[in-house]
Amino acid sequence: MEQKLYHYCSTQTAFAILQSRTFRLSPLSAANDSLEGRVLGRLFAQLLTEMSIPRGVADVASIIVEGYADATEGFAFCLSEDADLLSQWRAYACDGTGIAIGFCSDFLTRDYGPVNFGKSFYELVKVDYGEAELRASLVPLAQQVEDRFRLSGEFITLKAGLSRHDALAVLADRDADCRGLFRARDEASTALLSELMHLLAPLHFRIYGTKPQTFYEEREWRLLRYRHKVSHPEIDFFADNTSVRPFIPCLIADPARNAVRDVILGPKHRSNTNWIRSFLEHVGLGHVNVIQSAHISYR
């Protein structure tokens, strides 16, 4: 039995996605959770303080990992396991007037070659909620750092007089000079720092996989692509009333069009279902089911 995942949005956004067969990966740093990308770094820093690692080395390691959220943007297309959740309609679909588009998860993870849709370009990630599971998963890596560097002494430390907050602010500033943030003990320290950074690198691509427990009801999955916060040809921009934001467009070309399975009309949506079916046929998505929300009493 296929698994479906649902993207809740306004009617205008759903129309644009279906008509152009293009959706946008949006920056998670602009999402409604201020801790996006920062839970992992904070937990890993706590774990390092519990290990037998020289204090200065632990500080540098934790600053590197906590800095990932400022150095790297997670671009995502957010989906829910739930097809007709009232809280989702309220929060993400203009208080129930919008539409939820249902996608087959199997099609989302296929490889479509040169088409910019599929596993060649991003990963489908199930979001975890709360810190307990994430903390447990980080323990083995923290122990690896301990095993490798506990006898290495203070080969690297934060520059004297520089606070963790200051160091993270420098790492977050693309135009700042990061040289001089850390103080090496001797010539051999460069190789040890390189080894430490290599050991920590896999965490770079896990920072957007966890949200606080309070968001559990969303049962979220993400089509996720990581990009460093620098100019990149595939990144485009749009403006709303208050800001200019980046996004990555993803085309649902013909090889991937069967990824779209359902169109669910929100509880306060007013389109004639026959018009919706005709529209879907017109844009080459005649196979898509049109469903009305069960929350018909919501107003």
The DSSP line for 211-256 is: E-GGGGGG-EEEEEEEEESS--TT-EEEE-SS-EEEEEEEE--GGG
Percent of all residues in the chain with a pLDDT value above 70, rounded to a whole number: 99
pLDDT-derived band at 87, boundaries 50, 70, 90: very high
CA distances from 10 to 57, 119, 164, 292 (A): 48, 27, 41, 15
Q: In the prediction, which pLDDT does 22 show? A: 93
Question: Measured in Å, how far apart are the chain's first and last C-alpha atoms?
Answer: 34
| CA 77, 236, 264, 287 torsion-angle sign | negative
Q: Which residue has the higher pLDDT, 268 or 178?
A: 268
**Residue 112: partners with Cβ closer than 8 Å, 6 or more residues away:** 118, 120, 253, 255, 256
Residue appearing with tokens 């420098």? 170
pLDDT band at 258 (very low <50, low <70, confident <90, very high): very high
Question: Distance between CA 208 and CA 127 in Å, rounded?
Answer: 8
Quote the mean pLDDT of the chain: 90
pLDDT at position 296 over 90: no
- Least confident piece of the model among 106-115, 180-189, 213-222, 288-297: 106-115
The residue ranges of DSSP E strands in 17-158, in sequence order, are 22-27, 72-80, 99-104, 123-126, 128-129, 156-158
pLDDT, mean of residues 222-249: 86
**Helix, strand, or coil here: 155?**
coil
Distances 92 to 87, 98, 137, 249, 268 between C-alpha atoms, Å: 8, 8, 31, 20, 13
The whole-number pLDDT of residue 72 equals: 82
Looking at residue 112, what is its pLDDT? 83
d(CA 138, CA 148): 16
Question: What pLDDT score does 212 carry?
Answer: 84
Span 54-78, average pLDDT: 90
CB hemisphere CA count around 299 (13 angstroms): 1
pLDDT (mean) for 104-133: 85
pLDDT for res 229: 67
Whether 260 contacts 22, CB under 8 Å: no
CA neighbor of 108 nearest in space, from 199, 7, 9: 7
Tokens in use for 172?
């977050």
d(CA 211, CA 287): 35
* Element spanning 290, H or E: strand 289-292
pLDDT of res. 271: 96
Lowest-pLDDT range, 49-53, 115-119, 250-254? 115-119
Average pLDDT over residues 183-208: 91
- In this prediction, residue 230 has a pLDDT band, given cuts at 50, 70 and 90, of low
CA–CA distance, 176 with 206 (Å, rounded to integer): 25
Global model pTM greater than 0.95: no
- pLDDT of 35 > 70? The answer is yes
- Positive or negative CA dihedral for 268, 274, 280, 286? positive
